[in-house]
Structures are given as structure tokens and as C-alpha cells.
Amino acid sequence: MTALRTAMTRLRAFLEVVEAAISASAAVHSHHAPATADLRRLGITPTPAAMAAMSRV
């Protein structure tokens, strides 16, 4: 049972990262700044300069 629980936890974490990547990508594609939580989940530090660069037209 522990192995199954570990596998489910890892799968859930992976899917959360994929969701954050899709969300951030969609925001940048539509010239909006991505959510801070999505960037942090992806390992990106959301600085003001980075946010401005991602939301440029």
C-alpha cells in the first residue's frame, strides 16, 4: 500500500507541474504575466523585470 501511495503522490506532483507550465504558457501567449504561484512551482523566481519581460507585446 505504501508503494501505491508514493506513486500516486509523485503522479499528482508531476501533474501539478504540468498544469503550472500550461497555465504560465497560456498567460505569456496572451501577453499577460503568469501567476506567481505557477512560476514558483516551475522554479522561476518572479522578479519585476522577469514579469515585465514575460508580458511584453
**Do the Cβ atoms of 35 and 23 come closer than 8 Å?**
yes
Q: Global pTM?
A: 0.80
pLDDT digits (tens, 9 = 90+) for 28-48: 899 888 999 999 999 999 888
DSSP state of 57: -
Residue 54's pLDDT is 73
Grid cell, residue 9, equals 503522490
**Do the Cβ atoms of 33 and 55 come closer than 8 Å?**
yes
Instruction: Name residue 36's amino acid.
Output: T
